[in-house]
Structure 1
């Protein structure tokens, strides 16, 4: 563990990063001129798209997106952090610009998605990384962490749930779907995949709707409307029940290993409740936890604050090794 954090520290020193500054203290505005590369790689016969930027000798941030987004959701971080850190953001199979084989050819479960992302990290030679997990990125990331804890230098959790404390009232209908898929398929598709649901997923109860670019949900709804996409997403969401069943296992891992953790939580999220942050505090008493004036996709509304907190966190863990 000491060697791991010594390497992080050495990377920051070698890159001669000066501490950021702004009128708002920890906030960061877009300043990165680092070139973003848009690449694809074959993983077990599936074309996986990913974005990559930043110096490869800097600490690596593996950015795991949520539903129904893609690596595109991390553009605000690429614009602010790519001069300082090595950023890698894949699209899962069935999402964004990755291949979307039909369910008859690819089993859409979180176990399988995590296996693809695991193979992706191996093929790219990522032996250590700080893992940013948002929404679906949580179930994918926790599977990676339990399978390869030696690779995970730290966690950044942004509106990703691993306790039932965080599941709000919207999940009642979703639980009915898990109990009887056939009877509840139509209701689930309306609840999860409609245009209104896609828009609400961004806005939630935020009073700051003028900070949101409507292209976000318009583009996501266009993605969900692609031929075959609704079948892919309903299969994957049906498998979400396995995540809830895995919560005790993930919690036990956190309590035992006490990974360095930054929690960023958009308080206007309609699906994942702020109470989840108290649950993380129980498991990870030393975690840095920040409640943001934002919704489910906090980078939409508070990109400067989020990037500043991430930069501060990475610097801190690089100069203060884990016990």
Structure 2
């Protein structure tokens, strides 16, 4: 019986006028952990973590709009902003009747999760932040300087200058950079990301989200106030050599989180790749120690 609980299933659900694709595993009556991916990936990035966590939890990992296999009808006229992603995520949570859960946030999953938490602070039992940023200290200058230029100007030429970040060399770099064993990272991971990003119109979606990310930075003080006021436990499992969301972003949680555990992975941005077993063990230990799912 236990072995069947680790089988990952795929499904879709209608939420916010969107057909949200998601992966799920684990007992339906177990405590729930929701996994939120980032750019340029999807729930596929959690393919190895899901069955590990599902031995103890109900695990749910959606593809955010614009990513993976989530489908949006043309007539929906979807606006690709982080406010939009958070709204759709909230509708997804409601569609699955999830009322309280721990959330794993990575990259774009962080502002999506934090925006949701601002509206429903009591829904979040704990946060696992794997390079999921909420502080200006965490913005790596070498990466974000060119994006900030677009925020300031809104100019088409600055938008076009970001297109190389959406091509295969950049996608592969996000997976391989600072990994001590890049040869161990399955190439289908970044090739799938790229194939989905190469679909007609998808790169315009990604450029829209680059341009809108500045709205998240403006909300960082509210995210931090939520962390202080809620007392939510936070585990950071951070790729210490990430050049996009740098290590000081993990350290900064110390300013606002009362129940904090800081863990470092010898990795870059996609720190979960090849480290799934370690991250799962840290999550089990942290949730138990903080009694995250105590009745």
Both structures adopt the same fold (TM-score exceeding 0.5): yes
Kindly indicate whether residue 160 of structure 2 is the aligned counterpart of residue 186 of structure 1: yes
Aligned-partner SS, 2:47: helix
**What is the number of residues matched between the two proteins?**
293
Is 2:5–2:26's contact at 8 Å kept on the other side of the alignment? no
Instruction: Give the direction of change, closer, same or farther, for the CA distance of 1:242–1:32 in structure 2 (3 Å limit).
Output: farther
Structure with higher RCO (Cα < 8 A, 6+ apart): 1
Kindly indicate whether residue 82 of structure 2 is the aligned counterpart of residue 122 of structure 1: no
Is 1:103–1:231's contact at 8 Å kept on the other side of the alignment? no
Partner of 1:283: 256
Partner of 2:267: 294
Q: How far 1:210 sits from its partner (Å)?
A: 2.0
Partner of 1:218: 191
CA distance in structure 1 between the aligned counterparts of 2:151 and 2:163, rounded to whole angstroms: 13
Kindly indicate whether residue 280 of structure 2 is the aligned counterpart of residue 307 of structure 1: yes
Aligned structure 1 segments of 4 or more residues deviating by more than 6 angstroms:
319-322
CA distance in structure 2 between the aligned counterparts of 1:216 and 1:261, rounded to whole angstroms: 28
Q: How far 1:186 sits from its partner (Å)?
A: 1.7
Is 1:96–1:223's contact at 8 Å kept on the other side of the alignment? yes
Partner of 1:79: 51
Gaps of 5+ in 1: 1-14, 18-30
- In the TM superposition, what are the counterparts of 1:145-160 in structure 2 within 5 Å? 145-160=117-132
Kindly indicate whether residue 240 of structure 2 is the aligned counterpart of residue 264 of structure 1: no
Aligned-partner SS, 1:69: coil
Is 1:267–1:292's contact at 8 Å kept on the other side of the alignment? yes
Return the match for 1:90 from 43, 51, 62. Answer: 62
CA distance in structure 2 between the aligned counterparts of 1:211 and 1:274, rounded to whole angstroms: 23
Is 2:35–2:60's contact at 8 Å kept on the other side of the alignment? yes
Partner of 1:164: 136
Instruction: Say which one has the larger Rg.
Output: 1
**1:252-300 Cα distance to aligned partner (Å, 9 max, x none):** 1112222111111011212110111210112114301101112212220
Is 2:175–2:270's contact at 8 Å kept on the other side of the alignment? yes
Aligned-partner SS, 1:227: coil
Partner of 2:34: 62
Is 1:266–1:298's contact at 8 Å kept on the other side of the alignment? yes
Q: How far 1:187 sits from its partner (Å)?
A: 1.0
TM (norm. structure 2) is: 0.93
Aligned-partner SS, 1:116: helix
Aligned-partner SS, 1:314: helix
Partner of 1:231: 204
Kindly indicate whether residue 177 of structure 2 is the aligned counterpart of residue 204 of structure 1: yes
TM (norm. structure 1) is: 0.86
**1:213-272 Cα distance to aligned partner (Å, 9 max, x none):** 122111111111111101111111211010011111111111222211111101121211
Instruction: Give the direction of change, closer, same or farther, for the CA distance of 1:32–1:297 in structure 2 (3 Å limit).
Output: farther
Return the match for 1:108 from 71, 76, 80. Answer: 80
Q: CA RMSD in A?
A: 2.1
Aligned-partner SS, 1:161: coil
Partner of 1:253: 226
